[in-house]
Amino acid sequence: MALRVFALNLIKTNRNLLQSSGKINGGCNVQVVTSAAYATQVTVEATPAAVQKQKVSKAMKAYLKRANEHDEFMKTQHLDFQIGKRHLANMMGADAETFTQDDIDEAIAYLFPSGLYDKRARPAMRSPDEVFPARKAAEFDETGRPFHSMFYTGKPNFFQLLHDIVTETKKLNDLEERMLRRGNTPDDNQKLETAGFQLLPKEQLERFLVEHIADIEYQSFCSSMDRLIASPYAYKSRAFIERFLKPLIDQSKQLEVPKPKIDEQGRQYVTTYECLRKTARADVTVRLPGTGKITINGQDISYFSMEQSREQVSVEDLMYPIL
């Protein structure tokens, strides 16, 4: 009698355990079927995958929520920008359909004149894509598996870039090997022009990659790029390299060549005002069918009493200023 009760109690506890275990294991989805009250064996049948409920982790949920919020936000910003553009066009009396960004800039400069020195501090109206920093698209799918193989580095785009640079360098090295064996030399006409360029600064690279980079990492990017650019066959990877070269401004090319005027005697002349050297200010006139004479405030070159000043630019060198 006691034994049977004991056995019954055991079965009951077993059944309870199985049922509760079914509740605890969320992904288990097991249905417990007991064949008989006295049986100690339990047959388990797993449900088919199609009926399985999607279990999304909290991290995934939070990510999706953030992404959706951002998308909604950007949509409203775009809408606001479009409406604002039309209002502005209306205010300026221009056609709303053909109102370009340049027109917007002009209109804002007219309506909100600013004396601030830095142009970036002045009021401006730009597309939300330019104003708000870019965000990465979904980096992993619903199961949580990342798309990029280097996702777990934390900076997949950056390290992918470094790998790409190395791949290109190896390709060029192999090409150089083959060319040397054939006795060929690199084409000098196609040589990569690097004189007027510098490598993309750190901030711009960060914006390009949509990732934050440490200083050391930026330095390794620079040295890798230097290596690639230094290769004699670098022009073969021109498209790849030029993405990371930023042109430097050439001040001399920005200067406008003034048009010569004609004076009473029919000679051409050009006058440049406010020529500077230290605290000296001069208005210089150069005449085309010239005599070679120099007149400074009515005096000749002896206006400069110091020999050092006269030695600065000799008469033949007047056309070529000291850099």
Partner 1 sequence: MAYACCAATKNILRVSQLTRLMSVYPSHYVNPIVEKNLQSSKGNELSHIPIKAAPNDLNDTIFYGQLKQKFLNYITKKGNAALAKELLTKTFEIIKRTQIERLNLGTADQEKVITDPETLLVNAIENSRPLLTLSAIKRGGVKYQVPIPLTERKSYFLAMKWILEAAREKERKVKLPDKLAWEILDAACGQGRVIKKKDDLHRQCETNRAYAHYRWS
Distance CA(216)–CA(244), nearest Å, equals 18
Distance CA(75)–CA(69), nearest Å, equals 10
Among 248, 282, 286, 296, the residue binding partner 1 under the rule CB under 8 A is 248
Among 82, 149, 153, 312, the residue binding partner 1 under the rule CB under 8 A is 312
Residue 225 touches partner 1, criterion: CB under 8 A: yes
Alpha helices by DSSP H, the chain: 2-24, 58-92, 101-111, 128-131, 156-182, 202-209, 215-230, 238-242, 251-254, 307-312
CB 241 within 8 A of CB 234: yes
Residue 194 touches partner 1, criterion: CB under 8 A: yes
Q: Write down the least CB distance from residue 225 to partner 1, Å.
A: 8
Among 197, 208, 235, 240, the residue binding partner 1 under the rule CB under 8 A is 197
Nearer residue to partner 1 within complex by CB, 159 or 197? 197
Q: Write down the least CB distance from residue 314 to partner 1, Å.
A: 6
Among 89, 161, 168, 218, the residue binding partner 1 under the rule CB under 8 A is 218
Residue 250 touches partner 1, criterion: CB under 8 A: yes
Q: Write down the least CB distance from residue 187 to partner 1, Å.
A: 17
Look at residue 42 and give its three-state secondary structure: strand
Residue 162 touches partner 1, criterion: CB under 8 A: no
Segment interacting with partner 1 (CB under 8 A) among 32-40, 134-142, 179-187, 307-315: 307-315
The most distant pair of C-alpha atoms in the chain lies apart, rounded to whole Å, by 140
Residue 202 touches partner 1, criterion: CB under 8 A: yes
Q: Write down the least CB distance from residue 202 to partner 1, Å.
A: 6
- Tell me phi and psi for residue 281, to 5 degrees: -130, 135
Q: Write down the least CB distance from residue 274 to partner 1, Å.
A: 16
Residue 196 touches partner 1, criterion: CB under 8 A: yes
DSSP letter (8 states) at residue 316: G
Segment interacting with partner 1 (CB under 8 A) among 2-10, 128-136, 138-146, 197-205: 197-205
Q: Write down the least CB distance from residue 227 to partner 1, Å.
A: 8
Residue 274 touches partner 1, criterion: CB under 8 A: no
User: Secondary structure of the chain: what % helix, strand, coil (to 5)?
Assistant: 50, 10, 40
Residue 308 touches partner 1, criterion: CB under 8 A: yes
Nearer residue to partner 1 within complex by CB, 256 or 264? 256
Q: How many residues does the chain have?
A: 323
Q: What's the number of CA atoms in the CB half-sphere (13 Å) around residue 149?
A: 2
Segment interacting with partner 1 (CB under 8 A) among 133-141, 149-157, 219-227, 259-267: 219-227
| Residue 225: how many other CB atoms lie within 10 Å | 20
Residue 142 touches partner 1, criterion: CB under 8 A: no
Tokens describing residue 215: 């200083």
94 exposure class (CB count in 10 Å sphere: 0-12, 13-18, 19+):
middle
By C-alpha distance, which of 311, 272, 265 is closest to 291?
265
Chain contacts with partner 1 (rule: CB under 8 A): 192, 194-199, 201-202, 215, 218, 222-223, 225-226, 229-230, 248-253, 277, 306-309, 311-314, 317, 320, 322-323
